[in-house]
Amino acid sequence: MTSELRMIDLFAGCGGMTVGFAGEGFRPVLAVEWDQAAAATYAANFGEDHVIAGDIAAVPDEMIPAADIVIGGPPCQGFSNLGLKDLNDPRNQLWREFMRFVMKSNPKVFVIENVDRFAKSPEFQMLLAETESGALREYEIQHAVLNAADYGVAQRRKRTIIIGSRVGSITLPAPTHAKNPAPGSGLRPWRTVRDVISGLPTEPSTTELPSRTSSYFGQSMPGTFSGMDLHIKRRPTAKSLSRYSFVPPGGGRFDLPIALLPTCWVNKPTGTTDVMGRLRWDLPSVTIRTEFFKPEKGQYLHPQWVSGEWDEEHSQRRGDPTLSVDRVITHYEASLIQDFPADYRWVGTKIQIARQIGNAVPSGLAQAIARQVKPHLAANHSREAEHSSELAVA
């Protein structure tokens, strides 16, 4: 029997990566996350005893345990196309803390997850230098940009994945899914929005989370919430509802009549094509971001839609409004698109939970990586056990 595989999760967020690795039998022995609500969500699902809710730079070396693998996604706002691309942003330096944990824990493998453009950053080049002739020279690096949709996640989300190994070269996992898999390829079709949110009530009954609290890290916080607790709606204005009603699946602000366009969009005839967009039932979603509950932030309208005609006299669309679902996706739907289990437990306010969902690593992508890494670690454990037995006999 293979010994348990011990794991450290850094910048752990609400636990998306741990969900995937735990699904392959890895056991977390330490998780570090500075955001209190996200750390509480992690603790609600995996236990509080091994979670540090605080600044990773303040964790002393002596608190870093030995582990088989260290995983994590250092904050990436400085690299993101949505950010200012400030290479001096202190958040871009936090990967150095990740490396400190690697050096002190001495794992067989480490995995870094980041935005797709990370591989083109100066920090990535410095990381490569450390593996070539620096403190990480025992590790062999493999990296690639992976699309979560290619690994069974109902979301098109591209991320840079870096695997460092000192137990032999570990390649990145091969895709298990494809948009249009060729016959005989063994690949399955991409999972779609329909696969993960169809059947949920189209009209949520409330705008608020249940009124309950729990205690984590000595603090009282909203939660825990799970399942349909998160199936909450907003209260858009009548004008917003009219705007939503004109947007077809895959469409966006350019589908609105001139009469419904805000001045800022009238004056900007190009760009920002995905805002006020509607998801498609039979494709994976776009990337779920932290403000998915705002239709002006991206393609987050519910995919159900039936076209209608414009009523000039009343400035509204004709037709049965019940045939279209003119709202943004709920927190629960976003969590399912992000590949969290349906019964996952959440802690925090509506905004805090939305941020946790949008910042997470889809568990299906994490599990594909874990599945790729696990045989190498298991083989190493077997070799070490055989060596120990030989020494005992001698």
Q: Which residues are catalytic?
A: 76
Residue 373 contacts by C-beta under 8 Å, 6 or more apart in sequence? 69, 109, 111, 163, 165, 170
Residue 21 contacts by C-beta under 8 Å, 6 or more apart in sequence? 7, 9, 28, 69, 71, 366, 367, 369, 370
Asked if residue 224 has a cis previous peptide bond (ω within 30° of 0), the answer is: yes
- Return the structure tokens found at 279: 């998801």
- Asked if residue 249 lies in contact with residue 278, where contact means CB atoms within 8 angstroms, the answer is yes
Residue 90 contacts by C-beta under 8 Å, 6 or more apart in sequence? none
Burial of 2 (0-12, 13-18, 19+ CB in 10 A): middle
Which run of H or E residues covers position 383? helix 363-393
Helix axis angle, 36-46 to 350-359, nearest 10°? 70
Query: What's the CA gap between 133 and 111, in Å, rounded?
Result: 19
Query: What's the CA gap between 38 and 13, in Å, rounded?
Result: 5
Closest listed residue to residue 256, CA positions, set 242, 237, 270, 272:
242
DSSP 175: P
DSSP, collapsed to helix, strand or coil, labels residue 264 as: helix
* Sequence-ordered strand ranges (E) for 84-237: 109-115, 140-147, 158-165, 177-178, 188-189, 213-216, 219-226
DSSP, collapsed to helix, strand or coil, labels residue 305 as: coil
Query: What's the CA gap between 75 and 90, in Å, rounded?
Result: 10
Which run of H or E residues covers position 391? helix 363-393
